[in-house]
């Protein structure tokens, strides 16, 4: 049985070039980048080369790149590093928990937080952000691409609103990195977080754009690493791997990879939608398509449990994610889909298919063979279909 991985928004494998780039930095060139001897300076040079690559990805100065441990740390740093009691913070109800949980914590410590809901299309209306502004608004944080629906948010317009209001603007760009071209100046943000493992780099690596002059307090203190923005001995191999992944991602953005990927995603989506009782979450605003990253679609299926479909597909060799997340041992319908107005049953009966950029026609053919069969089998025995599930 083939194994087809369609859960790229959860994580991606390292590309061979990334492994090769990292290899020397574990054994031969193991130096500590803070040491003044040659071994240390080799490590320092590797980090600074990687920084220049990340600056190219972000379109910023090298000194505005801070290496860290990934998306969660970047998101936490933005919230904890800028907000103080009495400040007002605007974010959205569809952010990743790395932003939402940080928001809940600062809320307990005297920060007022406004959570903006999306429309049914999954899009945040910039005017809703404007309407939420207060004289005390210090930070706005909105994601670039939603991890569940792939919907791209109007960050440029939000950046302009932030600038007019004199507020800092953070973008969680974890799901946009390597999928759409970046430009932090065009986005108008002060902070932007990305994660290595979502773009074929190593897990536990990430980077943040921190605009020069932004008074961001460091989340992790200790040594004077990363221009005093993030203490801790640098993960040299990880940083080199992240930069290699970024370099490869920049090539992919230019060589037609994403047009091919969008074509395969669209074929997959169209064919699945032929199954009766299905629809796309976040694909459309009325009859207007909503901008999405090329690799993601999120589809609801009437009369079945999404989790049962995830398991059935796994048994047939296909890895995807459902519309529920496990919190404290119980599965809860996705907060993103609920915020878009789906009812709990439909949110639970949703599936996220997120394609790797290395996906093949044969992978899509295989999923299109096994998915309709699995849906039919599950509907035949479904307590949801039989109306026996509360
Ligand atoms: N932000 C978004 C939108 C994500 O999808 C994720 C991971 O799923 C994160 C943040 C957290 O990133 P990391 O896994 O690198 O901590």
Question: Per-residue pLDDT for the chain (390 aa), expressed as one digit of tens each?
Answer: 899 999 999 999 999 999 999 999 999 999 999 999 999 999 999 999 999 999 999 999 999 999 999 999 999 999 999 999 999 999 999 999 999 999 999 999 999 999 999 999 999 999 999 999 999 999 999 999 999 999 999 999 999 999 999 999 999 999 999 999 989 999 999 999 999 999 999 999 999 999 999 999 999 999 999 999 999 999 999 999 999 999 999 999 999 999 999 999 999 999 999 999 999 999 788 888 899 999 999 999 999 989 999 999 999 999 999 876 665 556 789 999 999 999 999 999 999 999 999 999 999 999 999 999 999 999 998 766 555 554
Q: Give the closest residue (by CA) to ligand 1 atom 13.
A: 71
| Active-site annotation, residues | 326
Does residue 31 line the site of ligand 1, with CB under 6 A?
no
Contact 377, 312 (CB under 8 A): yes
Does residue 83 line the site of ligand 1, with CB under 6 A?
no
* Distance from Cα 95 to the centre of ligand 1, integer Å: 10
Does residue 118 line the site of ligand 1, with CB under 6 A?
no
Q: pLDDT tens digits, residue range 8-23?
A: 999 999 999 999 999 9
What secondary structure does DSSP assign to 322-353, as a single string? ESEEEETTEEEE-HHHHHTT--HHHHHTEEEE
Q: Which residues have a Cβ under 8 Å from the Cβ of 48 and sit 6 or more positions away?
A: 62
* Distance from Cα 174 to the centre of ligand 1, integer Å: 6
Does residue 194 line the site of ligand 1, with CB under 6 A?
no
Is 36 in a helix, a strand, or coil?
coil
Backbone Cα Rg of the chain: 22
Nearest to 182 by CA among 60, 316, 266: 60
Among 147, 205, 207, 241, say which to mutate for ligand 1: greatest number of ligand atoms within 8 Å of CB: 147
Nearest to 47 by CA among 27, 11, 21: 21
Does residue 92 line the site of ligand 1, with CB under 6 A?
no
Q: Which residues have a Cβ under 8 Å from the Cβ of 45 and sit 6 or more positions away?
A: none
Spatial distance between the Cα atoms of 295 and 209, rounded to a whole number of angstroms: 24
* Distance from Cα 246 to the centre of ligand 1, integer Å: 16
**Predicted model pTM:** 0.96
* Distance from Cα 197 to the centre of ligand 1, integer Å: 9
Backbone phi and psi for residue 29, each to the nearest 5 degrees, phi listed first:
-110, 70
**Which CA distances in Å does 125 have to 161, 180, 368?**
12, 21, 35
């Amino acid at each position: 049985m083939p194994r087809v991985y369609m859960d790229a928004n959860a994580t991606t494998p390292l590309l061979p070039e990334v492994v090769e780039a990292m290899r020397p930095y574990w054994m031969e060139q193991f130096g500590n980048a803070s040491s003044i001897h040659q071994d240390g300076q080799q490590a320092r040079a590797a980090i600074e080369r990687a920084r220049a690559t990340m600056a190219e990805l972000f379109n910023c100065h090298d000194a505005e790149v801070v290496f860290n441990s990934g998306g969660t740390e970047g998101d936490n740093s933005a919230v904890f590093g800028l907000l103080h009691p009495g400040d007002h913070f605007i974010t959205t109800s569809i952010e990743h928990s790395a932003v939402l949980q940080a928001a809940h914590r600062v809320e307990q410590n005297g920060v007022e937080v406004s959570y903006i809901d999306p429309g049914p299309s999954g899009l945040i209306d910039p005017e809703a952000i404007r309407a939420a502004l207060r004289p005390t608004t210090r930070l706005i944080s909105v994601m670039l691409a939603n991890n569940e629906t792939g919907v791209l948010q109007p960050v440029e317009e939000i950046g302009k609103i932030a600038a007019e209001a004199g507020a800092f603007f953070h973008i969680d760009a974890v799901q946009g990195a390597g999928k759409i071209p970046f430009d932090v100046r065009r986005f108008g943000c002060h902070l932007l977080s990305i994660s290595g493992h979502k773009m074929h780099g190593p897990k536990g690596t990430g980077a943040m754009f921190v605009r020069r002059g932004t008074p961001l307090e460091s989340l992790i203190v200790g040594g004077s690493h990363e221009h005093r923005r993030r203490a801790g001995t640098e993960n040299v191999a990880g940083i080199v791997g992240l930069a290699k992944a970024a370099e490869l991602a920049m090539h992919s953005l230019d060589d037609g990879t994403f047009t091919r990927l969008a074509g395969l995603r669209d074929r997959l989506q169209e064919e699945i939608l032929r199954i009766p009782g299905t629809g796309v979450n976040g694909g459309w605003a009325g009859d207007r398509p909503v901008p999405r990253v090329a690799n993601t679609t999120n589809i609801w299926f009437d009369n079945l449990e999404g989790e049962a479909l995830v398991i059935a597909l796994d048994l047939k060799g296909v890895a995807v994610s459902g519309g529920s997340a496990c919190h404290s041992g119980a599965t809860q319908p996705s907060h993103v889909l609920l915020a878009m107005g789906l009812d709990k049953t439909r949110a639970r009966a949703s599936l996220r298919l997120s394609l790797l950029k290395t996906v093949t026609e044969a992978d899509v053919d295989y999923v299109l063979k096994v998915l309709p069969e699995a849906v039919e089998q599950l509907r035949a025995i479904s307590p949801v279909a039989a109306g026996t599930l509360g």
